[in-house]
Amino acid sequence: MGKDGARHVVIMGPQGAGKGTQAAIVAPRLGLVHVATGDLFRQVMASDTELAREIRSYYDRGALVPDDLTLRMLTERLDELATERPEAHGALIDGFPRNQAQAEALDAALAARGDSIAAVIHIAVPREVLIERLSGRLVCRNCGATYHKVFNPPKQPGVCDVCGGELYQRSDDTPEAVERRLSIYYEQTEPVLQHYAKAGLLVNIDGNQPIEAVTEAILAALRSRVEAS
What is the arrangement of strands in the sheet containing 137-140, beginning at the earlier edge strand? 146-148, 137-140, 167-168
29 as an active site residue: the answer is no
Q: For the residues 14-28, what does the mean pLDDT come to? A: 93
Residue 228, pLDDT above cutoff 60 = no
Among the listed residues 91, 175, 96, 60, the one whose alpha carbon sits nearest the alpha carbon of residue 128: 175
Q: In degrees rounded to 5, what are phi and psi of residue 136?
A: -95, 5
For the chain, the straight-line distance linking the first and the last C-alpha, in angstroms and rounded, comes to 11
Q: For the residues 149-158, what does the mean pLDDT come to? A: 94
Of 89 and 93, the structure prediction assigns the larger pLDDT to 93
Which of 7, 77, 137, 225 is catalytic? The answer is 137
Report residue 131's pLDDT band, with 50, 70 and 90 as the boundaries.
Answer: very high
198 as an active site residue: the answer is no
225 as an active site residue: the answer is no
CB 90 within 8 A of CB 115: yes
Report residue 207's pLDDT band, with 50, 70 and 90 as the boundaries.
Answer: very high
Task: Identify the pLDDT of residue 226.
Answer: 83
Residue 8 pairs with which residues in a beta bridge? 117
Calculate the average pLDDT of the chain: 93
Which of 85, 127, 149, 181 is catalytic? The answer is 181
Among the listed residues 188, 178, 200, 194, the one whose alpha carbon sits nearest the alpha carbon of residue 67: 188
Alpha-carbon radius of gyration of the chain: 19
Q: Is 142 helix (H, G, I), strand (E, B) or coil?
A: coil
Give CA–CA dist 229/117, Å, rounded: 10
CA-based diameter of the chain, in Å?
58
Among the listed residues 157, 177, 175, the one whose alpha carbon sits nearest the alpha carbon of residue 167: 157
Q: Is 98 helix (H, G, I), strand (E, B) or coil?
A: coil
Report residue 224's pLDDT band, with 50, 70 and 90 as the boundaries.
Answer: confident
CB 139 within 8 A of CB 132: no
Residue 117 pairs with which residues in a beta bridge? 8
Q: For the residues 109-129, what does the mean pLDDT come to? A: 96
Which of 53, 141, 170, 180 is catalytic? The answer is 170
Task: Identify the pLDDT of residue 225.
Answer: 87
Which of 19, 77, 133, 225 is catalytic? The answer is 19
Residue 93 pairs with which residues in a beta bridge? 10, 35
Residue 2, pLDDT above cutoff 80 = no
Task: Identify the pLDDT of residue 165.
Answer: 97
Residue 229, pLDDT above cutoff 90 = no
Among the listed residues 43, 19, 41, 42, the one whose alpha carbon sits nearest the alpha carbon of residue 92: 19
127 as an active site residue: the answer is no
CB 213 within 8 A of CB 125: no
Question: Tell me: the pLDDT tens digits for 26-77?
Answer: 999 999 999 999 899 999 888 989 999 999 999 889 898 999 999 999 999 9
Instruction: Give Cβ neighbours of residue 81 (< 8 Å, ≥ 6 apart).
Output: 1, 33, 35, 88, 91
Which of 56, 72, 85, 98 is catalytic? The answer is 98
Q: pLDDT exceeding 70 applies to what percent of the chain?
A: 97
Task: Identify the pLDDT of residue 30.
Answer: 94
Residue 227, pLDDT above cutoff 90 = no
Q: For the residues 9-34, what does the mean pLDDT come to? A: 94
181 as an active site residue: the answer is yes
Residue 205, pLDDT above cutoff 70 = yes
Task: Identify the pLDDT of residue 1.
Answer: 63
Task: Identify the pLDDT of residue 187.
Answer: 96
